[in-house]
Amino acid sequence: MSFNINNGGVTYNKRQRTENDEDFKVGHGANGVEELRRKRQSEPSPPNHVLLLTVFNPVYPITVDVLHTICTQHGKVLRIVIFKKNGVQAMVEFDSLESATRAKEALNSADIYSGCCTLKIDYAKPEKLNVHKNDSDSWDYTVTTDFGYERFEDGGFPPYPEGGFGDAGFNRGGGGGGGAHMVGGGNGGVPLMKDPPQNGGMGRPGVGGLVGMAPYQGGGGPNGSVMMVYGLDAKRHNTDSVFNIMCLYGNVMRVKFLKSKEGTAMVQMSDAVSVERCIMHLNNVQVGDNKLQVAFSKQAFLSEVTNPFPLFDKTPSFKDYSNNKNNRFLNVAQASKNRIQPPSKILHFFNTPPNVQDRTINDVFHTYDVAKPVSIKLFPSKSERSSSGLLEFATIAEAVQAIMACNHAAVDGEGTKFPFTMKLCFSSSRNISSGWLDEMQQKDSKMHESK
């Protein structure tokens, strides 16, 4: 990009020093220079077709789709860039100064959602935003190709969330511009969005669950999309281990291990519904010698960690998964194929090499130093491209540990240039002998429904 994200803002090209600057420094000293610097920082930028949006109290995830939806009613949006170094800020480039001015007047001090996500809008300094890839944090609406993303079976995705914020969910009149509002405390008026959508946590690729940011209806108001995970094994588990198990219940955005509390991590999911699923299915689950404790965090989001500390296995303590292709709720069609099940001794495996041998599968678990399955059942192959089946472990704890260690493990296939990425999930089958038939029938049913 033509600007660098730094300290939650944008570092612009510095003005060239002039003789007047030196005279000021000589005449006024260091204090004078600091006073001039503060004065420049406080001066508002002149009117521009690029706006700087600051979001206060961001209870729900803020993505390009959210901002595009609320901004496009006031003019044509060309590009959006979101940065979350210290809080949530974004730049929105409009097609004209008139469009940007209308949006600023209508949206400044408005709440995106009721009582939260309050907007403070200023004119930005850059004349143009450069976007290198389309994802949840940046988007170029002037480019038709979805660069930076793998295309899906439907050939791509629209610039609006599917089933997300229609006209009924948007207040065209805006929430600001009609009076004085306290920024950060809610404007007391009609929010720009009536309610976060409640379609089960699915969003389009990269958006990370925009179509499902429903608040958790429990305990004292809406909870956010961040959860605390206690009881992790500091010597065995890392950010990938946490991702491997949490991705079964929603899109994982970020994982952060705490240095002050060994075996404790914070996980930001795409929405509160996904966090609720994780709590429902994983809280108090035994993993090895430990028992997982999963609960909502009071933190609204996880900030980027520029210098993460190394974990026991030397991997970083923080990782961003917002654009990870192994998230399983990237679009509605993909999410509908997921089996959201509580932990069980029987796992469903898929996306393995065709005609994979039991020995090959056992080698994967041996490599990751976890218990091997006591039984393996390969489904009759309907395709020469990959294989699938069931794995039975001695205990639920061993099955959970297997998913945390081996979900998305690479499995080499004969005659293939690249390894397969084995995917695991909990099975609804309770008996591996007859369970394969149930799984195949469910698979056929889902394929029939998707046609």
- Residue 197 resides in a domain: no
> What are the tokens at 441?
């029938």
* Same domain flag for 360 and 317: no
* Same domain flag for 252 and 295: yes
Number of structural domains (the chain) is 3
Asked if residues 237 and 184 have their Cβ atoms less than 8 Å apart, the reply is no
CA dihedral sign, ordered 137, 143, 148, 154: positive
CA-wise closest residue to 81 among 120, 56, 50, 112: 50
> What are the tokens at 137?
């944090």
d(C-alpha 158, C-alpha 25), whole Å = 54
Residue 441 has pLDDT above 60, yes or no: no
Residues 171-193, mean pLDDT to the nearest whole number: 42
- Residue 211 resides in a domain: no
- Residue 200 resides in a domain: no
Which residues of 223-381 form beta strands (DSSP E)?
226-230, 252-257, 265-269, 286-287, 290-291, 293-296, 318-320, 346-352, 375-378
pLDDT, tens only, 142-177: 886 444 433 232 333 333 233 333 332 333 333 333
Domain's final residue, options 303, 327, 351: 327
Residue 58 has pLDDT above 50, yes or no: yes
Region of residue 69 (left: phi > 0; alpha: psi -120 to 50; beta: else): alpha
* Same domain flag for 347 and 243: no
Q: Which pLDDT belongs to residue 149?
A: 38
- Residue 9 burial (CB count, 10 A): 15
Q: Angle at which helices 358-367 and 396-406 pack, to 10 degrees?
A: 80
Domain's final residue, options 169, 190, 207: 169
Residue 269 has pLDDT above 60, yes or no: yes
Region of residue 53 (left: phi > 0; alpha: psi -120 to 50; beta: else): beta
* Same domain flag for 164 and 258: no
pLDDT, tens only, 393-434: 999 999 999 999 999 999 988 777 889 999 999 998 878 876
pLDDT, tens only, 12-31: 343 444 444 444 344 444 45
Asked if residues 105 and 71 have their Cβ atoms less than 8 Å apart, the reply is no
Overall pTM surpassing 0.85 (yes/no)? no
- Residue 446 resides in a domain: yes
- Residue 438 burial (CB count, 10 A): 15
Domain's final residue, options 304, 327, 350: 327
Amino acid type, 247: C
d(C-alpha 213, C-alpha 269), whole Å = 10
CA-wise closest residue to 106 among 169, 178, 194, 191: 178
* Same domain flag for 322 and 243: yes
Please give the residue range of the domain that contains residue 270: 226-327
- Residue 179 resides in a domain: no
Backbone φ and ψ for 394, nearest 5 degrees, come out as: -70, -35
Total residue count of the chain as it appears in this document: 451
> What are the tokens at 366?
């041996």
Residue 1 has pLDDT above 50, yes or no: no
- Residue 186 resides in a domain: no
* Same domain flag for 363 and 310: no
d(C-alpha 206, C-alpha 297), whole Å = 23
Burial letters 207-243, b for 16+ CB under 10 A, else e: bbbbbbbbbbeeeeebbbbbbbbbbbbeebbbbbbbb
Task: Return the H-helix or E-strand segment holding 396.
Answer: helix 396-406
Q: Angle at which helices 239-246 and 396-406 pack, to 10 degrees?
A: 120
**Cα separations in angstroms, 126 against 81, 101, 230, 306:** 12, 16, 44, 25
Asked if residues 385 and 354 have their Cβ atoms less than 8 Å apart, the reply is yes
* Same domain flag for 309 and 378: no
Q: Which pLDDT belongs to residue 310?
A: 96
Residue 105 has pLDDT above 80, yes or no: yes
* Same domain flag for 392 and 424: yes
Q: Which pLDDT belongs to residue 3?
A: 42
- Residue 204 resides in a domain: no
pLDDT, tens only, 115-129: 788 899 999 999 999
d(C-alpha 336, C-alpha 99), whole Å = 39
Residues 220-239, mean pLDDT to the nearest whole number: 84
Residues 226-238, mean pLDDT to the nearest whole number: 95
Task: Return the H-helix or E-strand segment holding 11.
Answer: strand 9-11
Q: How confident is the model at residue 345 (pLDDT cuts 50, 70, 90)?
A: very high
> What are the tokens at 196?
């976060």
> What are the tokens at 5?
């994200």
Q: Which pLDDT belongs to residue 344?
A: 94
* Same domain flag for 354 and 284: no
d(C-alpha 386, C-alpha 391), whole Å = 16
Asked if residues 162 and 95 have their Cβ atoms less than 8 Å apart, the reply is no
* Same domain flag for 53 and 129: yes
Q: Which pLDDT belongs to residue 88?
A: 86
- Residue 198 resides in a domain: no
CATH number at 247 reads 3.30.70.330
Region of residue 148 (left: phi > 0; alpha: psi -120 to 50; beta: else): left
> What are the tokens at 379?
């489904």
User: DSSP letter string over 55-110?
Assistant: EES--S---HHHHHHHHTTSS-EEEEEEE-SSSEEEEEEESSHHHHHHHHHHHTT-
Which residues of 114-175 form beta strands (DSSP E)?
116-123, 138-140
Query: What percent of the chain clears pLDDT 70, i.e. is strictly above it?
Result: 69
> What are the tokens at 266?
């914070």
